[in-house]
Structure 1
Amino acid sequence: MTTDPIVAPPRDAATDLDTVRLSLTVGGMTCGACAQRVERKLNKLDGVRAHVNYATTIATIDASSQYTEEELRLVVTAAGFSAEPFVDHAHIDTSAEDALTSDLFRRLVVALVLFVPLADLSIMFSAIPSTRIAGWQWFLLVLAMPVVCWSALPFHRAALTALRHRTTTMDSLVSTGIAAATLWSVYSVFGRPSTATSDKGTWTAITSGDSIYLEVAAGVTVFVLAGRYFEAKAKRRAGGALRALANLRARDVSVLLRDGAELRVPAGELAVGQRFVVRPGEIIAADGVVTEGRSAVDTSAMTGEALPLDVSAGDTVTGGIVVLDGRLVVEAAAVGRETALSGMIRLVETAQTGKADLQRLADRISGVFVPVVFALAALTFAGWSMVVGDVDRAVGAGLAVLIIACPCALGLATPTALMVASGRGAQLGIFIKGHQALEATRSVDTVVLDKTGTVTTGKLTFRSIATDEEGAEAEVLALAGAVEHASEHAIGASIAAVAADRTGELSQVTDFVALAGLGVRGTVRGHHVEVGRPAWFSERGFVIGARMSAAQSSSERLGATPVLVAVDGAVAAVITVSDTVKPSAAIAVARLKSYGVRTLMVTGDNAHVARSVADQVGVDEVVAEVLPEGKVDVVKSLQNAGRVVAVVGDGINDGPALATADLGLAIGAGTDVAIGAADIILVRDDLEAVVDSLALARATLSTIRGNMVWAFGYNVAAIPFAAAGLLTPLIAGAAMAFSSFFVVSNSLRLRRFDPMTER
């Protein structure tokens, strides 16, 4: 029984209906033509935009709120397929996939075991008619029937379902080919007298397409089942990396109660603001801030970094990383679907449901290919019958066209490669948002780098302290650190940290005052201490000694930040702090240059600082002291000059430039604005990830192009050979199965992508 498709209610043009996005898992698809048909049915509805991915079996639907999920599922059902709500990969029940794979394997084993003797006997009886014993026809039929009926049942069932919906699929070709070969063989061996008068060679019997086609029907079943079985296993492996990433989520968590007791609850019940305990070997259940404890954590599954990272009170952590050797108490800042891990998983899912331009072309071809093949098979049969008058040759050529032309490889060429690439990228800490990002990398020739937080760590580091009085450095640093310990400024924090490390416990400060944009002052051990910008002191007439003045000039010239310290009304020291260049920055820039990519640094900092950092990492061109809109202007000017531009950034001010670029890459530790505007998210705080992401994207594009060349070339070249009678149906079946197997296997090579080989 079928369900009538939905008839969309009339829509008032003045009504602005909200649009919602949902995903369905579509069952029963066997080729790209199936996905195309489901997509076409859904897109006929007013206010619906659907994309159906054959490889992932996921339909992504943007629909106006006038449709319910159940109504959209009925549309898919009316097209002849099953539809269930899609759940994220962490909760996917793989038992259905396992059952399907096991069923295909059982049918394949039965078909293979019976096909071997059937093929031997059929060839022998065809090549040497004198060996035909009494009842030989029944013996062949007994061997063939379990194969063409039971083993091939999935093809027949899918073909009948398509027929009921007045459409065709790849299974229509396979089922028709198997049925036609079987019926013609039955007629040949039972319905007409044998015309064989003499023995002929075995090779001639194999290649000429003798009128006994039972081994052809069984052979096609074996080859197609083998292709489906290996395809199912390959697709399962392709999605394995994403499932593994999704399974990084903690199942339960120990919530710390107010009285200090712990309560074990499901991770889904954790709320923002709650504190929870993570012990060695456990997974951190949510994004948050460490409030107690110290431990090394394993971030390799999230970022691809092999070395553990030390965290302690005040450090931020993300859900999905493993605590190695200490006990941490974490205050939850983001839980459930709001965590960074959940966001990254959604990025990969979105990437896998998108379609590249090549795949859209393949889908359009698959949608009309099957009916065209039926017509070509009929014309081939008619041509051979009329021109040659050999019905046996006509049947063989027609069957070969039916069998060899299945467009399965076309439907698998792009999505399997994208599935594998997105999963491998996730393992490396590289999250590709979609096919647009892949296609954009094809011709990127210019990379624009932000400075702070991208090329540099974004954290100020103490560099040096200079005084005019020999041996006074430690005492002045201790006084300055005590005052800055009460400050919340990043510069103050770096000074206080070094002072505490070098001089021990810091003294108490009284009468503390923070002057925004200028500095801080307070009383420490009876001394009046002031720490701040040089301009603050010069405006009040403070005199700086020669040694300290030289240190100040040197730090400014090198792009560092000088901070003056005054004790009891006199300048006592110049402290230099600076942002630190990431160790990976110079290597990444050198790799980009080796690929022939032009690099620029565009920053809002002053020219001295920008030039200093650029010289350290090897960037030749610098544009400094620009506002966010100025970064956009730089990108646009490069694009107007014919450049294909990639932008790498992490801050709010990078968002417009990331969105304007042909390819935007956001450092994963950056802001939500930057991540939202980018095409590729780099979770690793390592600038080499930029080059690795470009290498992965280009390797994926190369794989997709190879798949498409094979898929198109195979069908274009094979059909004329089959129609000309140069391929027997048995060889055609093997070639068709190999085509799909080649495409999937070629895509799986991306699982072994190693950025180290690209360096």
Structure 2
Amino acid sequence: MKTQSFVITGMTCANCVMRVDKALNASDQILEASVNLATEKAKVVVQDDCDVETVIAAVRQAGYGAIVDDKAHREKIRLAKQRAEKNLFWSFVLSAILTLPMLLGMFAGTLHVHSLMIFHNPMIQFLLATPVQFVFGARFYKGAYMALKNKSANMDVLVALGTSVAYVSSLVFGLFMGNMSAVNFESAAVIITLVLLGKNLENRAKKNTSAAIYSLQKKQAKTVHLLKDDQEIDTPVDTIAENQVILVKPGERVPLDLEILTGRASFDESSLTGEAVPVTKTVRQTVMEGAVNLDGVITARVIHTLDDSAISQMMAAMAEAQATKPEIQKTADRISAIFVPVVLGIALITFLLTAIFTKDISQALLHATSVLVISCPCALGLATPTAVMVATGLGARNGILIKDANALEHSKHISTVIFDKTGTITTGHFQLANWSGSDADFQILASLESYSNHPLAQALKGIDILPVSNFQELAGRGLTGMIQDQTYFAGNAQLMAEQGIAVEASSDTSIYLATATNLLGIATFSSEIKADAVQTLADLSQMGIKTIMLTGDNETAAAKINALVKADTVIAQANPVKKAQVVSNTPDAMMVGDGINDSVALSSALVGVAMGSGSDIAMQSGDVVITSENSLSKIISLISLSQKTVRKIHQNYFWAFIYNLVGIPLAAFGLLNPMFAALAMSLSSVSVIISSLLLNTKKI
């Protein structure tokens, strides 16, 4: 099973999304598909033996194009989008040039400009309207044909049918039968021109919703100062490999994820963490791509190449979130599936009733045309994805990296927040407080712990280590290994109990070192509570949200920490299995952890939040990543962002539905000219996007 992303070309509305989605999910080799109108992308989960051509063929069968969304095809995708945008723009411009004279001719009499009356001539209008209808409006006919071929209907069907009715009725009743009042060539041309204008405005607005990703791309350096043979060589960043050494000067942006080898500098990490206060870093500390070196010269080792760097991971996570379809979107999709057929039915009823009561076929056609062109499924299709795109960008700018759009929807409904203690409530940076054994045994402990990424192990670095064989991590308990033909165990009280070694409960965080039969020493550690931990738990309590603290420490040590943070419930001596069980048994729970012994719990929660100080597995398990390790208060911001995003989505749907509920009856009763109906339809999609963009003005 593998996941792939594709750029889909040719989609215009929510019904297009439904068609592509249906075509992809109909394939036996495609296990799951999610299609997004705002990003024009599809995320598909396929069987291992499924090639990209199978996916592309399924999309083509539905009448659309597909390009693999990967690095190799990036330039092809860029050129295809650029070409499509240029074609759309010039289609509008040329269509407008031909349509404008007809509008001038229509108002020539009112304005007493008799020289323009020539454009009111039906034959001149026919000559001007025909290329608009069949050249610049060809995209609507193509889209309508593919939709009907696949036994569905979309916006293209409405536009093509509406303008065709206006064009053909003008041709038949006006030119052929001489009824000048039935000539509405300008209506057909104006409808197409305004829809093309709306699509151009929509494209520009969509780009703004993706501004956060574009902003991150701009923070990626093009070249680095590579140090090779004591020389500084400016080298393209995408050619740099791990472990190469580079130089970063004051004022420069950090080009890749680095470990500092020499030097000391202050860094502005606000683009990654949302924190405005500079952070000073020195030898052996890591600094992420995108941070700005404010005041020092450093040499550093590359720890991640461009494809795996912090910014690349952030952009990939944001793209992943934007490709996810929240539950609320699925409801809208079901409505969109029946929307166009219902509109076609209303248009037919409008035509029949108007024709019966007025005895005027041309007027009946005009009313039906207004119904067809004012109906807009596009707004429904854009309501959720545009809000999600803006929200993920807003979150990223505030140090909240959302990987799954469902987390945006679910965080609003959280009733309990479960915190792992170490690295989440506490800083995760420990200092050795005491060692009760010999110096030789301490070296053995440090040697064993050098193989672990547990926060306690980091406090034992910088000590000469001995070779270790048969190393094994014992989940939730500690580790074991052989040194100089002797097997040692290092871990918590539970591990000691398994070895039959009795130890006293400690109120401190401890590591016990033992052989199979004897306790050799106890290392105790101290750690600070994060500066905003107490306030964050208090704020959650005020919001009516319960808090639980999980820890592998014994009850005495856990109670000592909780006396300060005041979680509602404390669960001590919790191994990874127990942590996952607690999360699974807690409804509507958010789990906050750093990925050490809690990655399964993160995956089990309704919303899993990984702190930025965590390991890679936490980044993979969490639905949301807090990119600053010392910003627990971002949990409050996440819930606030969720509330504002869901509210915005509901607003978007409200206006999309109100627009159609008000507009369609007005059109049916002849109170809206088809041209004004087309203008209203074009602006409805743009208004939904602008509504979503207003999320950027919100404080979270």
Confirm or deny a common fold (TM above 0.5). yes
Detail structure 1 runs of 4+ shifted over 6 Å in the superposition: 130-135, 486-497, 560-563
Task: Work out the CA distance in 1 between the residues paired with 2:134 and 2:397.
Answer: 38
* Residue type of the alignment partner of 1:347: A
Task: Give the deviation of 1:262 after TM superposition.
Answer: 3.8
Task: Give the deviation of 1:235 after TM superposition.
Answer: 0.7
Structure 2 vs 1, CA of residues 397 and 138 (structure 1 numbering), >3 Å: closer, same or farther? Answer: closer
Task: Give the deviation of 1:109 after TM superposition.
Answer: 5.2
Using the TM superposition, name which of 385-394 and 54-63 deviates more: 385-394
Quote the residue 2:361 is aligned against. 391
* Residue type of the alignment partner of 1:679: D
Do the aligned residues in 2 keep the contact of 1:649 with 1:658 (CA within 8 Å)?
yes
Quote the residue 1:655 is aligned against. 599
Quote the residue 1:589 is aligned against. 537
Task: Give the deviation of 1:407 after TM superposition.
Answer: 0.9
User: Which of these residues, 268, 289, 293, is aligned with residue 323 of structure 1?
Assistant: 293
Task: Give the deviation of 1:172 after TM superposition.
Answer: 2.6
Q: What's the TM-score, normalizing by structure 1?
A: 0.75
Root mean square deviation of aligned Cα: 4.2
Quote the residue 1:68 is aligned against. 51
Q: How does 1:287-306 map to 2 (within 5 A)?
A: 287-306=257-276
Quote the residue 1:170 is aligned against. 155
Task: Work out the CA distance in 1 between the residues paired with 2:101 and 2:119.
Answer: 14
SS of equivalent residue, structure 2 residue 230: coil
SS of equivalent residue, structure 1 residue 638: coil
Q: How does 1:443-522 map to 2 (within 5 A)?
A: 443-460=413-430
Do the aligned residues in 2 keep the contact of 1:114 with 1:143 (CA within 8 Å)?
no
Task: Work out the CA distance in 2 between the residues paired with 1:390 and 1:670.
Answer: 72
Q: How does 1:703-722 map to 2 (within 5 A)?
A: 703-722=648-667
Task: Work out the CA distance in 2 between the residues paired with 1:733 and 1:31.
Answer: 15
SS of equivalent residue, structure 1 residue 415: helix
CA displacement 1:506-535 (0-9 Å, x = unmatched): xxx99x9xxxx9xxxxxxxxxxxxxxxxx9
Task: Work out the CA distance in 2 between the residues paired with 1:182 and 1:45.
Answer: 40
Do the aligned residues in 2 keep the contact of 1:52 with 1:59 (CA within 8 Å)?
yes
Task: Give the deviation of 1:141 after TM superposition.
Answer: 5.9
Structure 2 vs 1, CA of residues 90 and 455 (structure 1 numbering), >3 Å: closer, same or farther? Answer: farther
Quote the residue 1:683 is aligned against. 627
Task: Give the deviation of 1:493 after TM superposition.
Answer: 8.8
Using the TM superposition, name which of 27-36 and 335-344 deviates more: 335-344
Quote the residue 2:489 is aligned against. none
Q: Give percent identity, aligned residues only.
A: 32
Task: Work out the CA distance in 2 between the residues paired with 1:494 and 1:150.
Answer: 73
Task: Work out the CA distance in 2 between the residues paired with 1:720 and 1:596.
Answer: 45
User: Which of these residues, 139, 146, 156, is aligned with residue 157 of structure 1?
Assistant: 139
Structure 2 vs 1, CA of residues 605 and 217 (structure 1 numbering), >3 Å: closer, same or farther? Answer: same
Do the aligned residues in 1 keep the contact of 2:105 with 2:119 (CA within 8 Å)?
no
User: Which of these residues, 19, 40, 48, is aligned with residue 22 of structure 2?
Assistant: 40
Structure 2 vs 1, CA of residues 647 and 620 (structure 1 numbering), >3 Å: closer, same or farther? Answer: same
Quote the residue 2:6 is aligned against. 24
**Structure 1 segments unaligned to the other structure (5+ residues):** 1-18, 196-209, 465-479, 498-508, 518-534, 536-555, 564-574
Task: Give the deviation of 1:324 after TM superposition.
Answer: 2.7
Task: Give the deviation of 1:29 after TM superposition.
Answer: 1.4
**Structure 2 segments unaligned to the other structure (5+ residues):** 450-454, 467-477, 479-492, 494-505, 513-522
Do the aligned residues in 2 keep the contact of 1:450 with 1:648 (CA within 8 Å)?
yes
Do the aligned residues in 1 keep the contact of 2:407 with 2:623 (CA within 8 Å)?
yes
Task: Give the deviation of 1:46 after TM superposition.
Answer: 1.7
Task: Work out the CA distance in 1 between the residues paired with 2:113 and 2:429.
Answer: 87
- Residues 1:436 and 2:406 are matched in the alignment: yes
CA displacement 1:704-739 (0-9 Å, x = unmatched): 122223223433443344333343323322321232
* Residue type of the alignment partner of 2:2: V
Quote the residue 2:370 is aligned against. 400
Do the aligned residues in 1 keep the contact of 2:118 with 2:124 (CA within 8 Å)?
no
Q: How does 1:186-201 map to 2 (within 5 A)?
A: 186-193=171-178
* Residue type of the alignment partner of 2:410: A
Task: Work out the CA distance in 1 between the residues paired with 2:143 and 2:569.
Answer: 63
Quote the residue 2:565 is aligned against. 617
Q: Who wins on radius of gyration, i.e. which is larger? A: 1
Task: Work out the CA distance in 1 between the residues paired with 2:134 and 2:560.
Answer: 70
* Residue type of the alignment partner of 2:40: T
Task: Work out the CA distance in 2 between the residues paired with 1:95 and 1:213.
Answer: 38
Task: Give the deviation of 1:151 after TM superposition.
Answer: 8.5
How many residue pairs match? The answer is 645
SS of equivalent residue, structure 2 residue 295: coil
Task: Give the deviation of 1:403 after TM superposition.
Answer: 0.6
Structure 2 vs 1, CA of residues 637 and 148 (structure 1 numbering), >3 Å: closer, same or farther? Answer: same
Quote the residue 2:166 is aligned against. 181
Task: Work out the CA distance in 2 between the residues paired with 1:302 and 1:134.
Answer: 60
SS of equivalent residue, structure 1 residue 653: coil
Do the aligned residues in 2 keep the contact of 1:377 with 1:401 (CA within 8 Å)?
yes
Quote the residue 1:674 is aligned against. 618
Quote the residue 1:645 is aligned against. 589
Q: What's the TM-score, normalizing by structure 2?
A: 0.81
Quote the residue 1:353 is aligned against. 323
SS of equivalent residue, structure 1 residue 249: coil
SS of equivalent residue, structure 2 residue 532: helix
User: Which of these residues, 18, 29, 50, is aligned with residue 33 of structure 2?
Assistant: 50
* Residue type of the alignment partner of 1:727: L
Task: Give the deviation of 1:104 after TM superposition.
Answer: 4.3
Task: Work out the CA distance in 1 between the residues paired with 2:28 and 2:528.
Answer: 55
Task: Give the deviation of 1:745 after TM superposition.
Answer: 1.0
Task: Work out the CA distance in 2 between the residues paired with 1:26 and 1:562.
Answer: 54
Quote the residue 1:87 is aligned against. 70
SS of equivalent residue, structure 1 residue 652: coil
Task: Give the deviation of 1:654 after TM superposition.
Answer: 1.4
